[in-house]
């Protein structure tokens, strides 16, 4: 096994940053290089994340005590809508796939770029167009949309706010997501290096592949749904308007047919990242490779059949509710397979507690809480009690922020040296991680209590009996935000002043670590020939 | 091969990949329309009689004509691709232009058809329509949305075909030529096309002084600025899109016009 050690060329190969086809910023926004596009996504998404975070922070501040604190009720409605739209559509859904996926997918399968580089750039432009439209929607028309990110009919048909533009913005974002999905699908099918068989692909690639299928299959449905909302508002076609015979429940069906699979668009790449980080820092191969790979596909498939669990109290039949409840339970199986395999990977490994590993471990902890609370609300009888309460808000923040968010931060710390060719300061990174983990739990754990006791979500005001948990949560938000700011500050500082990073600072075994940091324009001097599995640590030896 | 800042970047040409991407895209289009077909199915199940009466308002003659037009355009599209496959560029472009013309004809018919409906006050949210039953309101809501979105796809399809036609017309044929310098070698000879055993299948006239150039048009060789395999993929993909537009209409036509 010793003959296929990763060889790292640290010679005088110029990183891709030094190759510029256009001057200044144009070198970025007109580049078809997947690495530059990945970084474009990363930068734009982090900016949107900061906006969404600020909105969330202000909402928590408003809720620190009963009654009006800093904003009016209508402003609050607009704030939670924008917080949701920005976080979901501009950060979490493009998320790891568009940023790290773009950068790492060709590197990990030994390709020079994605299958359609120009389409890739076009996707980013569409993404930014959608984002710009969303911003314009905030300041024009009848004011920022106040429907929540779900645009439920018939309220979204009746409200005087600027729903048309916001819905169109989401449509454009969806189109961008579809194009990225089909690009990645074709890339995985066509551009794997010689010897890179399906079961030698890194698990991050597997998760991107599963994600791409969901993007391609589910997004068009929400696309048409939003177009219908627009047509409803502009022309009054009546398909979702009860006054004209339309059925708003159908809107909910079509919305969740996409938007439930969309949560797997959010979480699958995150699981892929964890599957990369775990073996690297446990210094051994992943446990149950094939099961993890297959469970990604299983989650993608079963996850497409569970949308009805969002509608337990919308008036669907008891039989439908029961079936959706059962199918929802099934998703827990492939998810648990992943969790057990990650834990088993650490067993008897020589674990190194670098920052990415800390994030990966907090992912497992937080995602388990999120997942298990998801099992609770997947139960029909229980969900009826906590539906539309803070319990739901707590659940999806644990899954999405605790899951996708932690994986995103983990990926940021794992691949930062590769992408930017610099190391960050380890100590502040770990302090930031601790603040984030503590702040996160102080912020979101009380949500479960609040929901259990009956606090409805999206309410501007609350009864005095809910004051204490709300106060604790708000304090948590301060800790969390300070942690995030410290983390980003450390990374931004390191962009300019960090030590130069070696090609393989963590002892990783996948192909991206075999090229210099940052990689050259063409990724590989020569397209590699792959003759081993992705996490073969024995072949690499200890660094 | 394209030189960028001293580095040579080999352009990636992947015929199979291009087709695969297009098929996946077409799948998303089907799902886009699928959402509306679901709505149609649900509302027709709820209001079968209203749909029956509402459908009588539609002009079956125009609908049938438009169906024939689109079917014919799919034929010309397929023939255009076949012509390109046989290295007959002119025929291919001609058939493509014919396809575009048929697409435009479809749109013109659609314009008059919709125009007549509007004249009768029959459009979404019109006072006249709102006096009708809920099923009829929904029928026309769906009719205008679905045929409207389909019409939008026809417009996009026509635009794509036009771009492809210009792209093809703008490039000379790929050919092997014996011009001024090479012709002397051939002078006095005779051109022949041989079969596998070397026997001539076809023999041309003698190459004498009157011949200035001998040219053989070849199939798709990857030469810059010439008709080549990628154009073939582009044409085929544009054709696939056009067939999609056609097939959606094949479903829309009976569901709206023929259910009375």
Name the pTM for this structure: 0.87
Cβ–Cβ contact A225 with B under 8 A: yes
pLDDT at A346 over 50: yes
Distance to chain A for B163, nearest Cα, Å? 17
Contact A238 B21 (CB under 8 A): no
φ, ψ dihedrals at B202, nearest 5°: -145, 140
CB contact under 8 A, B33 and A224: yes
At A138, is the pLDDT very low, low, confident or very high (cuts 50, 70, 90)? confident
pLDDT at B224 over 50: no
Backbone angles phi, psi at A500, to 5 degrees: -60, 140
Per-residue pLDDT at B220? 47
Q: Comparing A8-12, A65-69, A92-96, A312-316, which segment has the lowest mean pLDDT?
A: A8-12
pLDDT beyond 50 at A353: yes
A34-63 residue pLDDT tens: 999 999 999 999 999 999 999 999 999 999
Model pLDDT, residue A229: 93
Q: Residue A4 pLDDT > 50, yes or no?
A: no
Distance CA(A233)–CA(A221), nearest Å, equals 19
Percent of chain A past pLDDT 90, that is, above it, reads 71
Per residue in B133-166, pLDDT (tens digit) is 999 999 999 999 999 999 999 999 999 999 999 9
Distance to chain B for A425, nearest Cα, Å: 34
Q: Do A237 and B149 touch (CB under 8 A)?
A: no
* A182 has pLDDT over 90: yes
Q: How confident is the model at residue B229 (pLDDT cuts 50, 70, 90)?
A: low
The Cα A173–Cα A167 span in angstroms is: 10
Contacting residues of B for A237, CB less than 8 Å apart = 124-125, 141-142, 144-145
Q: What kind and span of H or E run contains B18?
A: helix B15-46
Please indicate if any CB of chain B lies within 8 Å of the CB of A246: yes
Q: Using the beta-carbon criterion (under 8 Å), do A239 and B9 form an inter-chain contact?
A: no
Mean pLDDT in residue range A113-139: 93
More confident position, A476 or A304:
A476
Residue in A530, A533, A502 with CA at minimum distance from that of residue A518: A502
Mean pLDDT (whole number) for A153-180: 91
Average pLDDT, chain B: 84
Here the tokens at position A260 are: 């439930």
Q: Which structure tokens are listed for A55?
A: 């909105």
A292-327 burial string, b = 16+ CB within 10 Å, else e?
A: bbebbbbbbbbbbbbbbbbbbeeebeeeebebbbeb
Rounded-to-integer distance, Cα A375 and Cα A383, Å = 10
Rounded to a whole number of angstroms, the distance from the CA of B83 to the nearest CA of chain A is 27
Look at B137 and A19 and tell me if their CB atoms are within 8 Å: no
Q: CA of A268 to nearest chain B CA: how many angstroms apart? A: 20
Cross-chain Cβ contact B141/A239 below 8 Å? yes
**pLDDT for A386 beyond 60:** yes
Mean pLDDT score, A200-222: 93
Other residues' Cβ atoms within 10 Å of the Cβ of residue A421: 21
Residue A54 exposed, middle or buried by CB count within 10 Å (0-12, 13-18, 19+): middle
pLDDT higher for B224 or A395?
A395
Mean pLDDT score, B33-38: 93
The verdict on a CB contact (< 8 Å) between A221 and B31 is yes
CA-CA distance, A411 to A392, in Å (whole number)? Answer: 27
Contact B32 A238 (CB under 8 A): no
Nearest CA in chain A to B122: A237
What number is the average pLDDT over the span A208-220? 92
Q: Is the pLDDT of residue B231 over 80?
A: no
Whole-number average pLDDT of chain A: 91
Residue B191 has pLDDT above 90, yes or no: no
Sign of the CA dihedral running B157, B163, B166, B168: negative
Q: How far apart are CA A404 and CA A440, in angstroms?
A: 13
CA dihedral over A281, A285, A290, A291, signed as positive or negative: negative
A228 to chain B, any CB pair closer than 8 A? The answer is: yes
| A389 CB neighbour count, 10 Å cutoff | 21
Residues of B with Cβ-Cβ distance to A224 under 8 angstroms: 32-33, 35-36
Percent of chain B surpassing pLDDT 70: 85
A404 and chain B in contact, CB less than 8 A: no
Query: Residue B10 above 90 pLDDT?
Result: no
Residue A205 reports pLDDT greater than 70: yes
So what's the pLDDT on residue A315? 81
Kindly report, residue by residue over B65-106, the tens digit of the pLDDT: 999 999 999 999 999 988 887 777 888 899 999 999 999 999
- Chain B residues with CB inside 8 Å of A19's CB? 4-5, 7
User: What pLDDT does residue A11 have?
Assistant: 47
Q: How many residue pairs from chains A and B have C-beta atoms closer than 8 A?
A: 119
B134 to chain A, closest Cα gap in Å? 5
Q: How far apart are CA A78 and CA A61, in angstroms?
A: 15
Q: Which residues of B make CB contacts under 8 Å with A?
A: 4-5, 7, 9, 12, 14, 16-17, 20-21, 24-25, 27-29, 31-36, 38-39, 42-43, 47, 123-125, 130, 133-135, 137-138, 141-142, 144-145, 149
CB within 8 Å: A235 and B144? yes
Give the integer Cα–Cα distance in Å for A396 and A379.
16
Q: Give A29: exposed, middle or buried? Use CB within 10 Å, 0-12, 13-18, 19+.
A: middle
Q: Answer yes or no: is pLDDT of B42 > 90.
A: yes
Residue A129 is predicted with a pLDDT of 96
Would you say residue B3 has pLDDT above 60? no
What are A258-303's pLDDT values in tens digits? 888 888 889 999 999 999 999 999 999 999 999 999 998 899 889 8
Segment holding B215, helix H or strand E: strand B214-217
Q: With a cut of 60, say whether residue A445 has pLDDT above it.
A: yes
Helix (H) or strand (E) holding A180: helix A163-190
pLDDT at B8: 35
Question: Using a CB-CB distance cutoff of 8 angstroms, which residues of chain A are in contact with residue B141?
Answer: 237-239, 244, 246
Least confident of A131-145, A158-172, A285-299, B26-40: A131-145
| Chain A residues near residue B12 by CB distance under 8 angstroms | 112-113, 115, 117
Q: How confident is the model at residue B225 (pLDDT cuts 50, 70, 90)?
A: very low
Q: Which residue among B5, B17, B144 places its CB closest to the CB of A190?
A: B17
């Amino acid at each position: 096994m010793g003959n296929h050690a990763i060889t790292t060329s640290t010679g005088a190969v110029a990183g891709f940053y030094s190759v510029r086809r256009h001057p200044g910023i144009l070198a970025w926004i007109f580049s078809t290089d997947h690495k530059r596009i990945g970084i474009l996504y990363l930068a734009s998404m982090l900016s949107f994340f900061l906006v969404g975070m600020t909105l969330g922070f202000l909402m928590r501040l408003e809720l620190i005590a009963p009654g009006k604190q800093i904003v009016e009720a209508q402003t609050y409605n607009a704030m939670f809508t924008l917080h949701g739209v920005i976080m979901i559509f501009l950060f979490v859904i493009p998320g790891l796939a568009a940023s790290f996926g773009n950068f790492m997918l060709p590197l990990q399968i030994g390709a020079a770029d994605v299958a359609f580089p120009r389409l890739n750039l076009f996707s980013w432009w569409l993404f930014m167009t959608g984002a710009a439209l969303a911003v314009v929607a905030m300041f024009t028309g009848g004011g920022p949309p106040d429907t929540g990110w779900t645009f439920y009919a018939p309220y979204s048909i009746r409200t005087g706010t600027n729903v048309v533009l916001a819905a169109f913005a989401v449509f454009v974002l969806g189109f961008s997501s579809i194009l990225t999905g089909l690009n990645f699908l074709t890339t995985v099918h066509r551009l794997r290096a010689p010897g890179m068989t399906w079961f030698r692909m890194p698990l991050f690639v597997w998760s991107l592949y599963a994600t791409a299928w969901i993007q391609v299959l589910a997004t068009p449905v929400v696309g048409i749904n939003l177009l219908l909302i627009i047509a409803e508002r502009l022309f009054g076609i009546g398909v979702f308007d009860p006054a004209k015979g339309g059925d708003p429940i159908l809107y909910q069906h079509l919305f969740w047919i996409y938007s439930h699979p969309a949560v797997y668009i959010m979480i699958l790449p995150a699981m892929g990242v964890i599957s990369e980080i775990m073996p690297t820092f446990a210094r051994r191969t992943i446990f149950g490779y094939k099961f993890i790979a297959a469970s990604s596909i299983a989650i993608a498939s079963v996850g497409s059949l569970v949308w009805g669990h969002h509608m337990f109290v919308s008036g669907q039949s008891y039989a439908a509710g029961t079936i959706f409840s059962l199918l929802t339970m099934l998703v827990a199986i492939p998810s648990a397979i992943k969790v057990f395999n990650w834990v088993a990977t650490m067993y008897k490994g020589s674990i190194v507690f670098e920052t990415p590993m800390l994030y990966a471990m907090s992912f497992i902890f937080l995602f388990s809480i999120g997942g298990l609370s998801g099992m609770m609300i997947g139960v029909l009888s229980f969900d009826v009690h906590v539906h539309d309460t803070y319990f739901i808000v707590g659940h999806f923040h644990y899954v999405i922020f605790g899951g996708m968010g932690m994986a995103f931060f983990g990926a940021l710390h794992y691949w930062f040296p590769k992408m930017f060719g610099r190391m960050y300061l380890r100590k502040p990174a770990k302090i930031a991680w601790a603040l984030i983990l503590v702040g996160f739990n102080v912020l979101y754990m009380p949500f479960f209590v609040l929901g259990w006791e009956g606090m409805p979500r999206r309410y501007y005001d609350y009864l005095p009996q809910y004051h204490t948990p709300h106060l604790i949560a708000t304090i948590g938000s301060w800790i969390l935000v300070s942690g995030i700011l410290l983390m980003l500050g450390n990374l931004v500082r390191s962009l300019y002043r960090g030590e130069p990073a070696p090609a393989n600072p963590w002892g990783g075994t996948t192909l991206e670590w075999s090229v210099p940091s940052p990689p050259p324009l063409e990724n590989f001097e020569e397209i590699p020939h792959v003759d081993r599995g992705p996490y073969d640590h024995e072949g690499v030896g200890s660094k | 091969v394209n030189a960028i800042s001293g580095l040579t970047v080999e352009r990636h040409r992947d015929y199979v990949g291009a087709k695969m991407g297009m098929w996946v895209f077409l799948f998303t289009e089907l799902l886009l329309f699928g959402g509306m077909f679901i709505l149609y199915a649900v509302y027709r199940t709820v209001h079968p009689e209203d749909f029956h009466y509402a459908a009588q308002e539609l002009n079956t003659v125009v609908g049938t004509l438009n169906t024939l037009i689109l079917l014919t355009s799919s034929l010309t599209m397929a023939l255009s691709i076949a012509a390109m496959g046989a290295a007959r560029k002119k025929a291919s472009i001609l058939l493509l232009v014919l396809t575009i013309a048929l697409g435009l004809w479809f749109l013109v018919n659609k314009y008059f058809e919709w125009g007549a409906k509007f004249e009768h006050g029959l459009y979404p949210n019109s006072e006249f329509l709102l006096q009708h039953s809920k099923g009829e309101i929904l029928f026309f809501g769906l009719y205008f949305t679905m045929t409207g979105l389909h019409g939008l796809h026809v417009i996009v399809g026509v635009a794509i075909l036009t771009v492809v036609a210009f792209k093809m017309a703008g490039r000379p044929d790929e050919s092997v030529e014996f011009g001024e310098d090479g012709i002397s070698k051939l002078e006095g000879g005779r051109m022949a096309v041989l079969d596998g055993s070397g026997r001539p299948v076809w023999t041309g006239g003698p190459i004498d002084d009157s011949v200035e150039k001998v040219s053989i048009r070849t199939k798709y060789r990857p030469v810059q600025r010439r008709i080549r395999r990628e154009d073939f993929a582009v044409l085929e993909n544009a054709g696939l899109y056009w067939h999609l537009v056609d097939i959606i209409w094949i479903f829309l036509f009976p569901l709206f016009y023929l259910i009375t």
